[in-house]
Amino acid sequence: MFVLAITGTIFIVVATLLIYTLVKFRATAAKANTEPAQVYGSTQIELAWTIIPALIVVVLTVATARVIHAIQDAPKPPGALEVVVIGHQFWWEYRYPTLGIVTANELHIPVSEPSGPRPTFLQLMSADTDHSFWIPQLAGKTDLIPNRINELWMDPDRPGVFFGQCAQYCGTQHAKMLLRVSVDDPDDFDAWVQAQRQAAAQDESAADGRRVFETTACINCHTVRGTAANGRFGPDLTHLMSRATIASGAAENTAENLRLWIENPDAIKPGSLMPAMKLSDSELDALVRYMQSLR
Amino acid sequence: MSTEVMAISSAQQAERTWREALHEWVTTVDHKRIGLLYIGFALVFLVIGGIEAVIIRIQLMAPHSDVVSPQVFNRMFTMHGTTMIFFAAMPILFGFGNYLVPLMIGARDMAFPRLNAFSFWLNAFGGLLLYFSFLGGSGLYGAGSAPDVGWWAYAPLTARAFSPGSSSDYWTIAVLVSGFGSIGTAINLIATILCMRCPGMSLGRMPLFAWLYLTMSGMALLALTPLSAAQLMLLVDRYLGGHFFDTQAGGSATLWMHFFWIFGHPEVYILIIPAFAFMSEIIPVFSRKPIFGYPVMVAATVCIAFVSMSVWAHHMFTIGLSSYANSFFAITTMVVGIPTGIKIFNWLGTMWGGQIQFKTPMLFCIAFLFQFLIAGLTGIMMAAAPFDWQLSLSYFVVAHFHYVIVGGILFALFGAFYYWYPKVTGRLMSERLGKLHFWLFVLGFHLTFDVMHIPGLLGMPRRIYTYEPGRGWDSLNLIVSIGAFVQVISIAVFVANLLISYRKGAKAGNDPWDAWTLEWSISSPPPAYNFASIPVVESRRPLWDLKHPEDPDSRYE
């Protein structure tokens, strides 16, 4: 707001002078055939309108440098949560190294109270091209660049669900690499962590689907902890049903959309790297039932 | 001037067939013809780039639109940016420089006429090569068509792993080739301005237009080289087993960013400085006063040239540079605003105390002043890096730079068209159509680019082919698109004016605006040899001295 106040004031002052000039010094019929005084310049005026902007710039740069340092060089308090974010074309991988959790696309972080601050410190990496992590209501953006580790911290002061999306063009489906962050009360967060730590739910009624999953190429890309599937190319599906959306926010997490996504991903996110799995109808139905059992 | 200036009208052109005329134009080395070739080609690419923009805006009018596929949309924004910067803006500005600089300094042509022609054809073929990608970009793997990597072509998106086929190569080579053309014209302008000024025209007496084109050419030499180098390195990566930018093999994505923006930031000053040149010639004439503070204007321009080479990483505030690096670039970016602001104040000082005539060229210059002021201020906002961590890569930035390029450069270009068209063709453009064009364009421009700041502030990133409803962006995008359609109508009026006035415009004579620089001393259009005898000047405004022998500038300078 401070910066806006300064630039806004400059605009009002200069624009007013401009408008005044245009009105006061317009050519009139009375002055036709005469030329105005031919003034070449004025050293004092030039000095004045050099020094004043220079002073404004000094003020702005001091203020800016202080904020840059405060944000980028902020120390990490002991209670901070550590999350590793790995950007992929076109989804987000989240690892919580101290909590032993791996998930995808929907981030859960605890709310941070002033009495006992618990900010989240994110380490940002990329598996392929450049991406950028941007949740406008929680923090400025920082890019995810391959072969580089960037850091970002968020200190949310109220719970809620916050939206964002990838902000650095990363390929065909950059537009649908959406972000969803759930800032949870401490109890909700702990409950979520506990649930995510468990291995995949074993639901006997979905055994057919599980067999389909384990005997097709699914396991090459996806991980379901507690089964043979430990692929790293695609999102971790162990607790797929704990998410509100699939395909990194491109569609709601419903049976219909799951079926469509596996059968024909181009219908939801054309150009994404999920292949159409070419399964029969019965296999597809069984597989979707299995997916829905992964709570 | 101590010798008379003969206003010789163009010699009668012998009858020639269309084939002979075409041959003359294709083989010309005359700076005036080359200037018109540049401008003509650039106008065609301006329209093509505009069509690409319209496709983008139609797609973004509503959320979840499927007017075009994501693949086509990504090609559209890539081609729009690349076309506008390299094949519309650069060539049209070089075209004006080519036509006017020799006339303004009393020379008969540029220093190197054949290099001049060669540079133009490099640029023209570069443009054709870029657009051939639509046909030929499928390459060996059947993948790719026009490039879709954004006009900055960030690594590693351009690596073979992520851009199969040849589409990225079309981007690389087309821009590389046209870059060599720009370097050629820059060399030519520098040599011409330094070596071919008429007698009496010291550096301190040449029009500001010449100073600004001299500065811009120096910057072009410095800025285009890193880009060309990076493009060659990219070709080595893609075809000769190099790994400069290949992150999968340990290369560096940020290396490309540094190379690109060391070009990219001075590039935008290369684009705006000629616009400043137009402003500095037109505003004095229509205020009926000399430019306020000529020496300060020169100093400010040279200052801008130097400082602008030190600000490039303000395009990289989000990539995770250290706080010291970010602070440095924030400071230099704000510092470059000081000489730029001084120029605005000097134009204001020129108008102050004058007798302002609101003819069409002046209308466009007045709009420039307001719009460039706003654009500069949003730039200062983003120079505050923490602010930029929110605004970067969003539609706020897109709004900012279109405010400079369209609201600044294009408006100044329109002013320049209306001002110098009579000199080039011998006829005035229609004031009525000119004012219609002006007001329509002001309406369309502000509808689009004022409103566009808001989705950026609300979190809408750039380069997305669609967006989610319910983020507050929907109606704003609709208004932005409507403004684009209004601008299309305005451009149609402008093109109509250009064409109609060629036949029906009022005869202009040598000096329709009662101006003061040397190009107004010869016929409209000028003869092939420009000046029957090389003029001798004694002040910055030789024609003022001629018209006011009782009160010449030479007495005061």
Mean predicted confidence (pLDDT) in B10-37:
86
B interface test, pick of A2, A21, A121 with most B CB neighbours within 10 Å: A21
A162, A188, A214 - which closes a domain: A188
Pairing state between β A150-154 and A120-126: antiparallel
In a domain, A195, yes or no: no
Domain-terminating residue out of A158, A188, A218: A188
CA distance, residue A74 to nearest chain B CA (Å): 11
Amino acid at B73: F
Total domains, chain A: 3
Determine the 3-state secondary structure of A107 from DSSP.
strand
Q: B374: nearest CA in chain A?
A: A11
User: Which pTM was predicted?
Assistant: 0.95
Per-residue model confidence as pLDDT tens digits over A156-183: 999 999 999 999 999 999 999 999 999 9
* Domain co-membership, A154 together with A214: no
Q: Is residue A242 part of a domain?
A: yes
Model confidence at B137: pLDDT above 80: no
**Count of CA atoms in the C-beta half-sphere (13 A) of B178:** 26
Contact map slice: B 234-293 vs A, CB within 8 A? 247-248, 250-254, 287-290, 292-293
Q: What would the two tokens of residue B106 be?
A: 């009393």
What CATH number corresponds to the domain at position A220? 2.60.40.420
Domain assignment present for A34: no
Residue of A nearest to B359 (CA): A27
Which residue's structure tokens are 């696309």? A105
Residue A285 lies in a domain: yes
- Structural domain including A51 reads 2-25+42-72
Q: Which of A148-157, B13-22, B471-480 has the lowest mean pLDDT?
A: B13-22
- 3-state secondary structure (DSSP) of residue A182: strand
The answer to the question of residue A31 being in a domain is no
Structural tokens at position B57: 């805006």
pLDDT at B4: 43
- Residue B64 exposed, middle or buried by CB count within 10 Å (0-12, 13-18, 19+): exposed
pLDDT in tens, A116-130: 889 999 999 999 999
Which residues in chain B have Cβ-Cβ distances shorter than 8 Å to A267?
none
Closest in B322, B337, B393 to A57, CB measured: B337
Residue B6 has pLDDT above 50, yes or no: no
| A116 and A56 together in one domain | no
Q: Do A28 and B355 touch (CB under 8 A)?
A: yes
Largest CA distance in chain B: 76
Q: Which residues of B touch A63 (CB under 8 A)?
A: 384
Quick one: how far is CA B512 from the chain centroid? 26
A220 and A176, same domain (yes or no) = no
Residue of chain B whose alpha carbon sits nearest to that of A67: B386
Write the pLDDT tens digit of every residue in B443-467: 999 999 999 999 999 999 999 999 9
Tell which residue, A206, A212, A232, has the closest CA to residue A221.
Answer: A232
Q: Indicate the range of A184-188, B245-249, B553-557 predicted with least confidence.
A: B553-557
% pLDDT > 70, chain B = 96
Domains of chain B: 25-555 (1.20.210.10)
Asked if the C-beta of B509 comes within 8 angstroms of chain A's C-beta atoms, the answer is no
Nearest to B268 by CA among B3, B103, B132, B89: B89
- Shortest distance between the Cα of A16 and any Cα of chain B, in A, equals 10
Please report whether residue A276 resides in a domain: yes
User: How many A/B residue pairs have CB atoms within 8 Å?
Assistant: 249
In 3D space, the residue among A264, A294, A288, A266 whose CA is nearest the CA of residue A90 turns out to be A266
Indicate whether A155 and A232 sit together in one domain.
no
- Note whether A45 contacts B162, CB cutoff 8 Å: no
Read off the pLDDT band of B138 (50, 70, 90).
Answer: low
Q: How far is A228 from chain B (nearest CA, A)?
A: 28
Token code pair at residue A236: 């971790």
SS3 of A2-34: HHHHHHHHHHHHHHHHHHHHHHHCECCHHHCCC
- With a cut of 50, which residues of chain A have pLDDT below it? none
| pLDDT for res B16 | 80
Q: Which residues from A are below 8 Å from B151, CB to CB?
A: none
Does residue B384 sit at the A interface (CB-CB below 8 Å)?
yes
Tokens of B164: 């199969």
Torsion, Cα A153 B394 B275 B437, to 10 degrees, reads -160
A-chain CB neighbours of B334 within 8 Å are: 57, 60-61, 64
Q: Is residue A33, in this structure, part of any structural domain at all?
A: no
Which distant-in-sequence residues (6+ apart) come within 8 Å of B438 by Cβ?
Answer: B360, B363, B364, B367, B414
B240: closest CA of chain A, how far (Å): 21
Local structure of residue A143 (DSSP, 8 states): E
Q: What is the largest CA-CA distance in chain A?
A: 99
Among A27, A72, A143, select the one facing B319 at the smallest CB separation. Answer: A143
Q: Domain for residue A129, yes or no? A: yes
- Which residues of A fall within a CB distance of 8 Å from B463? 169, 174-175
Query: 36-55 in B: which are within 8 Å (CB) of A?
Result: none
Distance in Å, alpha carbon of B30 to nearest chain A alpha carbon: 35
Rounded to whole angstroms, how far apart are CA atoms B367 and A164? 36
Q: How far is B87 from chain A (nearest CA, A)?
A: 23
